[in-house]
Amino acid sequence: MNIHFLSKHWAIPCIGGLLAFSLNGQSMGFPPLLHLSGVVRDMSGNVAPGVLVSFHPGFISSSMFGIKYSETNTDADGRYDLLIPTDSRQWISSGPLNMTNFVLARDFRRNLAVSAGFQFQEIFTNAPTGPATNYAVFDERISGGFQTMPTNLDLNLEPAGSLSGKVQDAEGNPITNAEVTVHLSDGYYSTSSTIVTVTPLEANTKGIFAMNTLPQDRVYYLAPVSAAGYGADKQRMKPRETLHGHYVFPAVILQRADRLLGGQVFGPDGTPVPGALVQFFGTGQPEWFQTNTDGNGRFLFKACQGPVSLHVYASGGRLSSVVKATAGDTNIVTQVH
């Protein structure tokens, strides 16, 4: 198989290894990155038409990178064909080295489901890093990894499980329309586990969310759980627990983002820096919150009560300053170099 990637590559640290991916690759007549097909059967061994089959790469969050996973429905003969093209927003991930990729089959009508996992083979061991990385070598190893993946995968459905939970504020009031992203793992969250995004959900007017027709005997967790005007949190199954029947997550409690957090960024010469990127992080704080300084180098956020860490990036995307602060402080002063 000939694999070709164009445009930029990124390599960032992640749990257990390196996360690398390229976006907006163009196929230029090259074959799909992966063509996966097979037959889905029910518990009696009969072919199962109309079953949703989806492919989920390891340790990638669609909410983070805007990636839409490939999915299709089985035909009248229970057959599916999944194409992962090279001309869409593509992922390449190590996560933990040699991560597991999942295929999910879900029969909503009969409440049956199954998941199957398979791995790349040793392509990310000693993966290249650094700004001077020769990505032609990296792409060659990725190509070899795809060649080790199966092209035919038959699936046998089993009884499915379900999960539910609720989202509320610190006073116990339901938070409506909270966004909940559900993930599946091949083990309790650790440096050796693989994480895949199953789907985003939305809590109803009572703050309750639910998801049906899920493969059993898997670990599920929620991250992030967020809502406009609130911070974010996560919720996991307890250690050594897997989905059997129906699982109810403990309530997810979000703090109100009602504290101002602001300041001013200065350059080495003491003049304000417009356009600097400022991000803030903290336990229970809003996810991926960032802004750019105005013409006077000023920035302003709404944050939740508690400590935060501010990261300031000057021109060129280089991290120039890290500041510890507390929500409610609007006179933060930092200098970039």
Q: What is the pTM of this model?
A: 0.75
Query: End of a domain among 236, 254, 272?
Result: 254
Mean pLDDT of 115-143: 49
The pLDDT value given to residue 308: 95
Q: Are residues 172 and 204 in the same domain?
A: yes
CATH number at residue 238: 2.60.40.10
Q: Are residues 170 and 221 in the same domain?
A: yes
Q: Are residues 312 and 268 in the same domain?
A: yes
Query: End of a domain among 158, 188, 210?
Result: 158
In this structure, is residue 231 part of a structural domain?
Answer: yes
In this structure, is residue 3 part of a structural domain?
Answer: no
The pLDDT value given to residue 194: 55
In this structure, is residue 1 part of a structural domain?
Answer: no
Mean pLDDT, rounded, of the chain? 77
In this structure, is residue 307 part of a structural domain?
Answer: yes
Q: Are residues 22 and 141 in the same domain?
A: yes
The pLDDT value given to residue 4: 24
Q: Are residues 14 and 150 in the same domain?
A: yes
Q: Are residues 42 and 143 in the same domain?
A: yes
The pLDDT value given to residue 148: 54
Q: Are residues 204 and 297 in the same domain?
A: no
- Domains held by the chain: number: 3
In this structure, is residue 290 part of a structural domain?
Answer: yes
CATH number at residue 33: 2.60.40.1120
Task: Give the pLDDT confidence of 173-232 residue by residue, as tens digits.
Answer: 999 989 998 888 776 554 445 556 777 789 999 999 999 999 999 889 898 899 999 999
Q: Are residues 79 and 153 in the same domain?
A: yes
Higher-pLDDT residue of 34 and 285 is 285
| Statement: residue 110 has pLDDT above 50 | yes
| Statement: residue 171 has pLDDT above 90 | yes
Higher-pLDDT residue of 4 and 315 is 315
Q: Are residues 154 and 235 in the same domain?
A: no
Q: Are residues 234 and 108 in the same domain?
A: no
Reduced 3-state DSSP string for the chain? CCCCCCCCEEEEEECCEEEEEECCCCCCCCCCCEEEEEEEECCCCCECCCCEEEEECCCECHHHHCCCCCEEECCCCCEEEEEECCCCCCCCCCCCCCCEEEEEEEECCCCEEEEEEEECCCCCCCCCCCCCCCHHHHHHHHHHHHHCCCCECCEECEECEEEEEEEEECCCCECCCCEEEEEEECCCCCCCCCEEEEEEEECCCCCEEEEEEECCCCEEEEEEEECCCECEEEEECCCCCCCCCEEECCCEEECECCEEEEEEEECCCCCECCCCEEEEECCCCCCCEEEECCCCCEEEEEECCCEEEEEEECCCCCEEEEEEEECCCCCEEEECC
Mean pLDDT of 155-166: 96
In this structure, is residue 2 part of a structural domain?
Answer: no
In this structure, is residue 265 part of a structural domain?
Answer: yes
What percent of the chain lies above the pLDDT cut of 70?
Answer: 68
Q: Are residues 168 and 308 in the same domain?
A: no
Query: End of a domain among 231, 254, 277?
Result: 254
In this structure, is residue 153 part of a structural domain?
Answer: yes
Q: Which domain holds residue 102?
A: 9-158
